[in-house]
Amino acid sequence: MLANLITSVRLLALVPLYLLIVQDTVAARWAALAVLGVAGLSDILDGWVARRFGLTSRFGAFLDLVADRLLTMVSLIALLTVGALPGWWALAGLVLVGRFVVVAGLGEAFGDQGLKVTRLEKVKIGLQFLGLALLIAPPVFAAQGTVGRASLAMAAVMTIWLVSGYVRTALCRADAGKSAAA
């Protein structure tokens, strides 16, 4: 399937993305930003292709989800490696990575019901992508690093809010299941 092929290319871009970020030169950072941009566009394209041509599948949705999560995780790990998230800023990166573990566990335990992408989740994803892009790109303006870290921090705060809602939903479902069984 074409959509899965596009998603697979995004997965293959993870290694060069990491290596370019940790190389930490101006040219490598521009190349890493280009890889991140193409990966972001491929995320839009694979979903569009799948829906437009009736190529949606559970496997394709799973592959897309894994590619999205790994793109963020690899970017954050590389940025942590080069010190772009020093001190307390690293906590934002860890919250964003930890979200994937919690949400994956909830999805495994309770199914994906109630874990739908909301507008707030889309805003969080936008802030996260903006923060990653600003931190991956070589410095262009004085406050770029601060704005990038602040974007990731706001995404992390939104993540905590959203994940707490997911946990509440899962707990309510678990309680409802106990009541129905009794």
- For residue range 22-65, what is the model confidence (pLDDT) as tens digits? 999 999 999 999 999 999 999 889 989 999 998 888 898 889 88
In the predicted model, what is the mean pLDDT of residues 138-166?
93
Measure the CA dihedral 11/12/18/19, to 10°: 180
pLDDT at 149 > cutoff 80: yes
Measured CA to CA, the distance from residue 21 to residue 32 in angstroms comes to 6
Domain boundaries, the chain: 1-72, 83-182
Answer with the residue of higher pLDDT: 62 or 78. Answer: 78
What span, in angstroms and rounded, lies between the C-alpha atoms of 96 and 71?
12
pTM for the model stands at 0.86
Say if residues 29 and 20 touch (Cβ distance below 8 Å): yes
Q: Does residue 75 register a pLDDT over 70?
A: yes
What is 93-129 written as a DSSP string?
HHHHHHHHHHHHHHHHHH-STT----HHHHHHHHHHH
Alpha carbon 91 to chain centroid, angstroms: 16
Q: How far is CA 108 from CA 16, 100, 157, in A?
A: 30, 12, 24
